[in-house]
Amino acid sequence: MLLADVVAASSAVAATRSRTAKAGRIAELLRRADADEVVPVTAWLAGEPRQGRLGIGRRTVSKTAAKPAPTSSLTVAAVDQALTELAGTSGTGSAARRDAVLGAVLSEATTDEQQFLVRLLTGELRQGALEGVVLDAVATAAGVPAASVRRAFMLSGRLPETAAAALIGGVDAVDSVRLEVGRPVHPMLASPGSSLREALTDLGSDVTVEFKLDGARIQVHRDGDVVRVWTRTLREVTDSVPELVDRIRALPCDTTVLDGETLALDDGGRPRAFQDTMSRFGGDASEEGVLLSPFLFDVLHLDGRDLLDEPLHVRLDALAGLLADEEHAALRMPGVRSPGPEQAAGVLADALAAGHEGVVVKALDAPYAAGRRGKAWQKVKPVHTLDLVVLGAEWGYGRRSGKLSNIHLGARDPDGGEPVMVGKTFKGMTDQLLEWQTRTFPEHAHERADWGVRLRPHLVVEIAVDGAQRSPRYPGGVALRFARVVRYRPDKTPAEADTIETVRLLLAGSPVRRK
C-alpha cells in the first residue's frame, strides 16, 4: 500500500462530519491493507506513529525540508521502517542521523504526503478519526462485532494491535484478549451527577458512596515482587513513585491489579495542591516534602482470579480482604456501603471537610466497564467543572502586562473536528500560573500576533462555571458564564476534553454529563 492511499483516506475523513462516513472510509482502507500494514495504518489514522512520540518538532522538520517528489512512490512499509529507525537512533551523532533519515523520507514524498508526515510527526494530525471511529471501522472491516473489538481494545490498551487481531484473526482473536497482569487496561470512568439526592434516586440504595479525591488516577499491577504503576492515560510512572511501589509490594498477595487515586498530603493530612501531586509523575522521585499516598477503591485481579466481570460488591469484598490488616487499612478509599440518605450526606460532608472534591456513588451490582463512562458510577461535586482545550491566549494589561493572560477555551467536537470555542477567561490565575502560561504557551503556538498567540490543541484546563448562555458570538452557539481556571490537567489529552454537547447541557441547567 502506498502512503498516498493513507493520505487520501485521511483527507476524506477530515472532509466529512458524518461518523458513519468516517468509519466507512477507514474500513475501506483497512480492508486493502496487508497484514504487516494494518498496525502502522491504524496508528496513523488515529493520529500518531505506532512507535510513539519521536521527539520531532517544527524546528527539526524545518532543518530537513526537502523539495517534494513529483509523483507518489512511498510505501507504508518504507515509512514505518524509517520511523522505527528514528525511534531507535540515540547517542553521539544521533541528531545528524535522525535528520538524514527524516530528510530522505521527506524527499520521496509529494507535497500532500509531506504535509501529512509533518503533522503526524509533530502531533498535529487532526483528521477526525477518534478512537471510537477507528474501532467502528475495524469492526466493519473485519466483520467482527463492535462490542468484541471495543472490549479487546479496552483490555489491551493498544488500538493498532487490536485492529491487527480483528483483521487477521477475526472474532476468535479479539475474544481471546484477556486481562494481563503487567498490561494496563483503560479505567472505568464516572459520569458527573447533579446532586447526591439525584444520584441516589437514580442508582437506588444498593450503592457505595466513596470520597472523590483531588488527586491523580492510578492503576497498579503486581506480579510477585514486580510492581508497576500507570496513570489514567496509561502512561507508566513506576520509576517516579517508589513510595507507592513499596506500599503495594507489602500487600499479602502474589498478583493483583488495583485501581485507585493518589495525592500528596500535608502534615495535617489534608490534600496539597493538585500541581504538587502531578509534579511527581515523571519528576524527581526524591523531591523533598512531596510524598504520595495511595487510596484504593477497586481490584480487577487477585491471585489468579480475574474480577472485571464480577459485580462491584464482589470486588469490594476481595479488596476488603486484601486490606484487612491494620497495617494496610489506610490504603482503602474512605466510604460507606449501602448507606441511608443521611449517612450518604455525612460521607459527602466529611469529604468536603477534609478538603476533597466530593463523592462518587457506585452501583454495587455493576461490573467493571473498562474504558467507559456510564451511570453506574456518578461523581457528585458542589461546583460544576469542565475540562476544555486552550486554543489561544491574549497579552494582559495593567499589572498583567507582558503576561499571557486571557485564555481562549474550546470544547471537543465529538465528530473529530477542531475544538469549538466556547469562551474566554482570565479569572482564577495566580501570579505563578501567569508566569507558567507565558513561559509554556509559545512552545505550543502555531500563530503569533500582536494580541497574543493561537495554540495547537494540546493543553487541557479545568474550568469552573456557573452555567452557559446562548451566544451568536461563538460557532457552537453557546458561551460559558463566569468561567474561572481551577487547574491545568497534564493527566488529560484533548481527546478527553468535554464535548460541545456537554457545554450545551448547561443551557437548560441540566447536570453535566461528561465523557
Q: Per the structure block, which three cell numbers stand in for 58?
A: 517544527
Q: Per the structure block, which three cell numbers stand in for 457?
A: 490543541
Per DSSP bridges, beta strands 335-337 and 216-223 are unpaired
> What is the spatial distance between Cα 279 and Cα 283, in angstroms, rounded to a whole number?
6
- In sequence order, the β-bridge partners of residue 336 are 209
Active site residue 67: no
CA distances from 351 to 200, 292, 346, 426 (A): 17, 18, 9, 29
The residue written with cell numbers 513529483 in the block is: 70
> What is the spatial distance between Cα 236 and Cα 221, in angstroms, rounded to a whole number?
11
| Structural contact between residues 420 and 413, judged by C-beta atoms closer than 8 angstroms | yes
Q: Per the structure block, which three cell numbers stand in for 467?
A: 452555567
DSSP string, 171-231: HHHHHT----TTS--PPPEEEEPS-HHHHHHHH-SSEEEEEE-SSEEEEEEEETTEEEEEE
Q: What's 91's DSSP letter?
A: S
Which one is catalytic: 22, 63, 67, 212? Answer: 212
- In sequence order, the β-bridge partners of residue 210 are 335, 360
Q: Is 382 helix (H, G, I), strand (E, B) or coil?
A: coil
- In sequence order, the β-bridge partners of residue 90 are none
> What is the spatial distance between Cα 503 and Cα 149, in angstroms, rounded to a whole number?
30
Q: Per the structure block, which three cell numbers stand in for 169?
A: 484473526
> What is the spatial distance between Cα 281 and Cα 158, in angstroms, rounded to a whole number?
22
For the annotated catalytic residues, the residue numbers are 212
